[in-house]
Amino acid sequence: MRTTHGTKLKLYAFTFATTLIFSGHLHAQHGIEPGSAIRLEDSLIVLKEVEPEVQRFVDRQKRLPGQDSYVRVRLTPDTSTGFIWIDLSEGFLQNGQTELNEDWGEKIRQIEGQTHDYLVELVEFKAVVTRIGGRTLKEIFHAAEEQEQTEQERPPLEHL
C-alpha cells in the first residue's frame, strides 16, 4: 500500500514538473511574459501546440471495456462562454453506455485536469469542458435519462 502512495506521489511530482517546463517553453516560444496569460480570442496558436500533449495523455490512458482503442482529441476555444472545449471522438463512450459511471467519470476528470494544468498560466479561460462527438455530457446522459423516464411513465398495456 505504501509503495502505491509513493508511486502516485512521484507521478504527481513528475506531471507538475512537466507542466511547468512545458508552460515555460510555450511562454518563451510565443513571446508571452511569464505570469501573463493571453486572451481566449488569441489562443488558437497555443491550443494547437497543447493539443498534441492532450492527445498523448488520452492515448496513454487505459481503455475501459467497450471504448475504442484510439480516441481523437481537439481543443476548441469558445469566446462567447469563455470555455475551452475538449472534443473527444465518439469512441470515448463505452459501447451501449447510457449512464455515467465512476471509472469513466474519473477518466474525464483526469483529461480535464491535465488540460487545465497545461493551459492555466497560458490562456485566460473560465473552464475546460469535455464534449464527446460534439455533445456535452449533460446532453448525452440527460437524453438517455429522459428516454428511460418516458418508458417508465407509459401505462402498462392491458391484455385484450
- Tens of pLDDT along 143-158? 555 555 555 555 555 5
Query: Does residue 156 belong to any structural domain of this protein?
Result: no
Pick the more confident residue, 6 or 49. 49
Could you tell me the strand order of the sheet in which 135-136 lies? 73-78, 83-88, 127-132, 135-136
Question: Is residue 124 a part of any domain in this protein?
Answer: yes
Q: Is 48 contained in some domain?
A: yes
Number of domains in the chain: 1
The beta strands (E) that lie in 8-155 are given as: 73-78, 83-88, 127-132, 135-136
Give the chain's mean pLDDT: 78
Query: What is the Cα 42 distance to its own chain's centre?
Result: 21
Q: Is residue 64 part of a domain?
A: yes
Helix (H, G, I), strand (E, B) or coil at 38: strand
Domain containing residue 104:
35-151
The angle formed by the CA atoms of residues 60, 32 and 45, to the nearest 5 degrees, is 50
Tell me the C-alpha distance between 47 and 153, whole Å.
46
Q: 61-100: per-residue pLDDT in tens?
A: 999 999 999 999 999 999 899 999 999 999 999 888 888 8
Question: pTM surpassing 0.75?
Answer: no
Is residue 10 in a domain? no
- CATH number where 110 lies: 3.30.300
Q: Which residues contact 27 (CB under 8 A, 6 or more apart)?
A: 33, 34, 121, 122
Q: Could you tell me if residue 3 is inside a domain?
A: no
Q: Give dist(CA 118, CA 19) in Å, integer.
A: 6
